[in-house]
Amino acid sequence: MLPARSLPFLPESRSFRIAACAAVALAAAARIGLRIHFTDFRAPELWEFGEIARNLVQTGTFTYRSNGVPSAFMPPAYPLYIAFLYQIFGVGQVAHMVLAGALLFFELAVPFLVGYLAAGIWDRTTGFVAFLLALFWPQFLVMSGRLTNVPIYTSLLLLACVLVLSNSIPLRRRALFGGFLLGAFGLFRFEACAFLVPFGFVLLRHNGAASSQRRGAGWRHRLGILSVFLGAFITPLLPWIARNYAVFGQVVLSTSGGYNLRRGHHARATGTAREYYAAENTLTESTVGGTPVPGAEAMARVVERTPGDVLRVDRFFRDEALRFIAANPAKEASLVVRKLFFFLVADFTHPMSRVFPIWGASLAALVVGLVCWLRNGIRDPRQQFLWLVFTTQACLAVVFFVVPRYRMGVEFVPLVFFAAALAPLVRHWSADSTSQQKEARVRPRLSH
């Protein structure tokens, strides 16, 4: 049974704990069922991560292409983990099933972390509502449809948010733990660097920083906290940065930034990673592929003999994207509007995102959550921080392009505010239910 004391969002009532256990079991079964239905464990879609992992096993080199030239096309953590499983179990079904089991752990960790986050900002009831919603939230359930690293980096980002907002931990430790987790997040998604802004904001604005200012610590204290945070953030990334410096002769986080920028800025760009799918396409169809990127075929024919060639290809795409942006302001303005729509509402070019229960629930949570925040918590730095996290991801989508996983990774933000809006209704229902139970116990005594 789930321990109420160690889970601040769980009601102390035994019946509620039993219900929570049943809900977790049902949510786990749903996720396992989705994975079995949508995943071919013999040859699952692992995208660039699987390609790099296979190249690591075959050539011993972290490279996206099979020519053995080192690259930094994707963040290292997920390909390295897949390669580790391939080394132990071989490239096949067993390794993919073990990978699915590890992902299930993180998929189930997400609702618990959502409950922690909501309980820390609001109260136990809000945390419990958020926990139950997250267990069966469509955007979180569809994480189980593919063997992606979305549940891993979502859990890391959530845990970092929980820790930096925890009043029970001294501010310096919050900066240390939050920075380290955000750096670990960066090993799965390079946009972790952009999240330095909201995390830095909340560390300076949260109660601990304010009280230190009142004690006269001033800017020295602020800079000390930021130094701890940035030092902790860079620590998990140092091995990757050192490896890339040794390979490329310069500080490089990624060699795919130029290509990804070009994907979002060209004449045929739709604002997402792909062109519009035919209406009859379904969830069971492959989601591989996307809008043809100008220059991609020519660059694919380039023989990358040295790491310098890898950098030149990346630079080519970046320069082409910047030239297109400068030369096509009207097209760029329309792309900004499209990207915001696809991020905030749904990526209707993707067969999964246009399923109504998925995008409808997300849109409802966003609208209701925003209204709840504007009415009740707009001055709370903790709540401001969460919307800054959400806004940061939206800005990244505008700079590059929209895919469902970008919204999925920050879906917890509107969800916790949606739970905060529903919590008063739950309290009212719970109070009525308790009062009816008391009356039912009293009536037999009166009849005697």
Higher-confidence position of 11 and 158? 158
* Stretch 200-221: mean pLDDT: 67
The alpha carbon of residue 229 and the mean position of all alpha carbons in its chain are separated, in whole angstroms, by: 20
- ∠392-393-394 over CA atoms, to 5°? 90
Q: Is 247 within 8 Å of 70 (Cβ atoms)?
A: yes
pLDDT-derived band at 4, boundaries 50, 70, 90:
low
On whether residue 283 sits in a domain, the answer given is no
What is the pLDDT at residue 94? 98
pLDDT-derived band at 5, boundaries 50, 70, 90:
low
Q: Is the pLDDT of residue 215 over 90?
A: no
* Stretch 93-97: mean pLDDT: 98
Token pair belonging to 420: 């905060």
pLDDT-derived band at 48, boundaries 50, 70, 90:
very high
Which of 17, 381, 323, 387 has the alpha carbon at shortest distance from 206? 381
On whether residue 287 sits in a domain, the answer given is no
What is the pLDDT at residue 12? 81
Q: Who's near 284: CB < 8 A, 6+ residues apart?
A: 38
* Mean per-residue pLDDT over the chain, rounded: 89
Q: Is the pLDDT of residue 216 over 50?
A: no
Domains identified in the chain, total number:
1
- Global pTM reads 0.92
Which of 125, 174, 184, 126 has the alpha carbon at shortest distance from 152? 184
Q: CA torsion 390→395→398→403, rounded to 10°?
A: -30
On whether residue 443 sits in a domain, the answer given is no
What is the pLDDT at residue 376? 94
Q: Give the lowest-confidence range in 60-69, 94-103, 255-264, 285-294.
A: 285-294
On whether residue 147 sits in a domain, the answer given is yes
Token pair belonging to 2: 């789930």
Phi and psi of 402, rounded to 5°?
-105, 135
pLDDT tens for 27-39 read: 999 999 999 999 9
On whether residue 298 sits in a domain, the answer given is no
Q: Is 351 within 8 Å of 277 (Cβ atoms)?
A: yes
pLDDT tens for 112-129 read: 999 999 999 999 999 999
Q: Give the lowest-confidence range in 98-102, 363-367, 434-438.
A: 434-438
* Stretch 362-382: mean pLDDT: 97
Amino acid at 146: R
Q: Is the pLDDT of residue 448 over 50?
A: no
* Stretch 62-89: mean pLDDT: 93
Q: Is 403 within 8 Å of 350 (Cβ atoms)?
A: yes
Q: Give the lowest-confidence range in 53-62, 76-85, 277-286, 322-331.
A: 277-286
What is the pLDDT at residue 220? 84
Q: Who's near 440: CB < 8 A, 6+ residues apart?
A: none
Alpha-carbon separation of residue 128 from 132, 133, 397 (angstroms): 6, 9, 31
| 3-state helix, strand and coil shares in percent for the chain, rounded to the nearest 5 | 70, 0, 30
What is the pLDDT at residue 275? 76
pLDDT tens for 273-300 read: 887 655 554 444 444 456 778 877 766 6
What is the pLDDT at residue 264? 96
Distance CA 206, CA 330 (A): 41
What is the pLDDT at residue 431? 64
Domain hosting 180: range is 14-276+303-432
Q: Is the pLDDT of residue 238 over 70?
A: yes
Higher-confidence position of 94 and 301? 94
**Which ranges constitute the DSSP H helices of 144-195?**
150-164, 171-186
Give the Cβ contact number of residue 92 at 10 Å. 12
What is the pLDDT at residue 213? 47
Q: Is 423 within 8 Å of 122 (Cβ atoms)?
A: yes
Amino acid at 251: V
* Stretch 362-384: mean pLDDT: 97
Q: Is 278 within 8 Å of 408 (Cβ atoms)?
A: no
Q: Is the pLDDT of residue 445 over 90?
A: no
On whether residue 22 sits in a domain, the answer given is yes
What is the pLDDT at residue 421? 98
Percent of the chain with pLDDT over 90: 76
On whether residue 393 sits in a domain, the answer given is yes
Q: Is 314 within 8 Å of 259 (Cβ atoms)?
A: yes
The alpha carbon of residue 116 and the mean position of all alpha carbons in its chain are separated, in whole angstroms, by: 17
DSSP 73: S
On whether residue 387 sits in a domain, the answer given is yes
* Stretch 226-246: mean pLDDT: 98
